[in-house]
Amino acid sequence: MEQAYQRWNDYENIIIMNLMNGSLNTGRQKGLFKKEKECLSCGWHKETQLHIFQCREDSMKNPRTNAFKIMEKYYHQKGIPGMVYAPFSKLCQTTCNDKSMQARGPVHITVEDAIHAQCDLGHDLFRQGYLAHKWLVAIQQF
C-alpha cells in the first residue's frame, strides 16, 4: 500500500484518504457546520458518501456513469490490466446502482477470488474504498 501512496501526488492522497474515512464534502459534513445536510438532487434528509453512490435521482446517474468511465481510463493509464479493472468497475457499478455485489460476465479465477473476498468485506467498506488483498494478487498475476 505504501508503494501506491508514493506514486500519487498530494492531492490524490488527500482525496483518497478523505473518501476512505468518510470525510468528503457531503451534506453530512456540511451539517456539522450548520449548513444544509440534505441531498441537493433528491432532498434525502442526510447526504452521505453512500447516498451519493446510490442516489436514484436522474441528475446523479450521468455523473456517476462518467465517474466510472474516468476511473477505468485512469486504471488503463496506470497500467492496471483490463482483465482486472473491467470486472472491478462492473462490481463497483452494480454495488452502487442496484445495491448488489455481483460482477457480471465470465472472469478469470483469480479475479473471481478477488470478487468473493471483496464480498466478504461487505458493501460499506467497499464503498469507502477498502479493497480485498486479492485484487493485488490479481493485478500481479497479469
- Burial class of residue 77 (count of CB atoms within 10 Å of its CB; 0-12, 13-18, 19+): exposed
Which range, 43-52, 77-86, 95-104, has the best average confidence (pLDDT)? 77-86
What distance in Å separates the CA atoms of residue 93 and residue 108, rounded to the nearest whole number? 19
Q: What is the pLDDT of residue 126?
A: 80
pLDDT of 5 > 60? The answer is no
Q: What is the pLDDT of residue 55?
A: 81
What distance in Å separates the CA atoms of residue 85 and residue 79, rounded to the nearest whole number? 10
The string of pLDDT tens digits covering residues 50-90 is: 777 778 888 877 888 888 888 899 889 888 899 999 999 88
Look up residue 44 and give its three cell numbers: 434525502
> 104: pLDDT confidence band, cut at 50, 70 and 90?
low
This prediction has a pTM of: 0.68
pLDDT of 30 > 70? The answer is no
